[in-house]
């Protein structure tokens, strides 16, 4: 990655066409401080190469970034001078982040870990690069720090600020429950935020706030603090995640989904149609199965897998039914889609 790839508008990828090498670090620092006001330094400042994707999801700002090792420091004086009252949450993808808040304790986060910072409290952080596990952000597998972060207005969270402070500097896990759901959601947003339509982005931002609140509430054993709307939206997202992970199951029905979440089928239907613009649970399952098959048929790594096998493992075992539904959804037969996708022929 060359530094000449740095620039950024209100929303989009950071690029810096024509920016001299010695000025690139300042350029990147200015972009970061739009929502994360802190002091920054780096041993690589003389020839800084970084990338950033910034997207506005309604009330939430999403930052996907890749950069060399760097240090960050928000002082008490900076807090007094300006406090936008934002909670910063970051999912580490590559490298490590050693972070210290109001105590002498330093917590170290690695790939797959989620950590918090709060604009109302000082902190120090040291990001150390590691060889990237993928070239999705950087384009090359060189040592980087990579992460997907969100900035959430603290006032939108139904968790009291004094309780949020209790989460700072802790080793917070995203391995199960709301944390696992939030981790999955952030990974997906890191890949798809740039192509979201404005209306989609705004709705997703609201859901994201609810997921963050649900995760915090779980960590604090304070689920009772969540509003009914937040609990409902978090439950719907949990249902969607469950469905996506079980599309292969031929017995995946609204009844099974309801039982897995300890709710009645009638409540599941009412909940889902309210939050999915009228779409039923069964229709959403069918749509997700077709989307998964659409992706897998276009995957070169799966080109030798017969179409009926792809369909079966997506939960549609009857070939005629699959072909009819696929063509109705995409205007092409499964074989036509696979041929065009793998040959590079446009479907337009």
SS (H, E, C) 281-326: HHHHHHHHHHHHHHHHHCCHHHCCCCHHHHHHHCCCCCHHHHHHHH
Contacts (Cβ under 8 Å, ≥6 apart) of 98: 106, 107, 108, 109, 125, 126, 128
* Residue range 31-59: mean pLDDT, rounded: 87
The angle, 0 to 180 degrees and rounded to 10, between the axes of the packed helices 228-245 and 198-220 is 100
Sheet with 123-128: strands ordered across: 39-41, 70-74, 123-128, 96-100, 106-109
**Closest by Cα among 183, 175, 171 to 101:** 171
- Asked whether the predicted pLDDT for residue 63 surpasses 50, the reply is yes
Contacts (Cβ under 8 Å, ≥6 apart) of 257: 239, 242, 243, 268, 281
- Asked whether the predicted pLDDT for residue 6 surpasses 50, the reply is no
Give the residue extent of every domain in the chain: 3-226, 254-343
Give the pLDDT of residue 5: 38
Domain 254-343 CATH superfamily: Homeodomain-like (1.10.10.60)
Distances (CA, A) of 21 to 18, 137, 176: 9, 20, 43
Give the pLDDT of residue 102: 67
Give the pLDDT of residue 271: 85
pLDDT digits (tens, 9 = 90+) for 292-337: 999 999 999 899 999 999 999 999 999 999 999 999 999 999 999 9
* Residue range 276-301: mean pLDDT, rounded: 90
* Residue range 148-158: mean pLDDT, rounded: 88
* Residue range 67-80: mean pLDDT, rounded: 92
pLDDT-based confidence at 168, cuts 50/70/90?
confident
What the block records as the tokens of 335 is 């074989």
What the block records as the tokens of 132 is 């990237």
Give the pLDDT of residue 9: 38
The CATH-assigned architecture of domain 3-226 is Sandwich (2.60)
| 258 vs 194 pLDDT, higher one | 258
Q: Give me the long-range contacts of 282-287 (CB less than 8 A, separation at least 24).
A: 282/253, 282/254, 284/240, 284/243, 285/243, 285/247, 285/252, 285/315, 286/325, 287/329
* Residue range 88-111: mean pLDDT, rounded: 87
Give the pLDDT of residue 115: 86
Give the pLDDT of residue 74: 93
**Closest by Cα among 211, 117, 216 to 159:** 216
- Asked whether the predicted pLDDT for residue 131 surpasses 70, the reply is no
pLDDT-based confidence at 7, cuts 50/70/90?
very low
Query: For a pLDDT cut of 70, what percent of the chain falls above it?
Result: 85
Give the pLDDT of residue 260: 87
Residue located via tokens 């950590």: 115
Give the pLDDT of residue 333: 94
Prediction pTM value: 0.64
Give the pLDDT of residue 48: 86
Mean residue pLDDT of the chain comes to: 83
| SS3 letters across 85-125 | CEEEEEEEEECEEEEECCCCCEEEECCCCEEEEECCCCEEE
pLDDT-based confidence at 211, cuts 50/70/90?
confident
């Amino acid at each position: 990655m060359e530094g000449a790839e740095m620039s950024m508008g209100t929303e989009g990828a950071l690029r810096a066409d024509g920016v001299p090498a010695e000025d690139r670090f300042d350029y990147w620092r200015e972009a970061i401080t739009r929502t994360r006001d802190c002091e920054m330094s780096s041993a690589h400042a003389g020839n800084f190469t970084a990338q950033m994707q910034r997207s506005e999801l309604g009330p939430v700002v999403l930052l996907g970034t890749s950069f060399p090792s760097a240090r960050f420091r928000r002082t008490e004086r900076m807090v007094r001078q300006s406090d936008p009252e934002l909670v910063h949450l970051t999912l580490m993808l590559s490298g490590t982040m050693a972070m210290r808040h109001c105590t002498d304790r330093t917590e170290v986060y690695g790939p797959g870990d989620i950590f918090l910072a709060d604009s109302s409290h000082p902190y120090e952080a040291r990001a150390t690069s590691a060889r990237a596990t993928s070239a999705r952000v950087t384009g090359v597998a060189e040592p980087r720090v990579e992460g997907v972060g969100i900035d959430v207005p603290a006032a939108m969270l139904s968790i009291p600020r004094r309780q949020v402070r209790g989460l700072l500097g802790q080793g917070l896990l995203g391995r199960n429950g709301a944390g696992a759901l939030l981790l999955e959601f952030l990974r997906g947003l890191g890949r798809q935020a740039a192509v979201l339509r404005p209306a989609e982005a705004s709705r997703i931002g609201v859901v994201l706030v609810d997921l963050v609140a649900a995760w915090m509430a779980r960590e604090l054993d304070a689920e009772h603090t969540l509003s009914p709307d937040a609990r409902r939206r978090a439950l719907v997202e949990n249902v969607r995640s469950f469905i996506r992970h079980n599309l292969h199951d031929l017995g995946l029905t609204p009844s099974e989904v309801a039982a897995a979440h300890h709710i009645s089928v009638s409540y599941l239907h009412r909940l889902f149609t309210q939050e999915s613009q009228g779409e039923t649970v069964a229709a959403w399952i069918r749509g997700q199965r077709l989307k998964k098959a659409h992706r897998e048929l276009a995957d070169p790594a799966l080109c030798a897998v017969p179409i009926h096998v792809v369909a079966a493992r997506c939960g549609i075992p009857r070939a005629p039914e699959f072909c009819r539904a696929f063509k109705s959804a995409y205007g092409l037969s499964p074989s036509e889609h696979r041929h065009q996708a793998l040959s590079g022929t446009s479907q337009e």
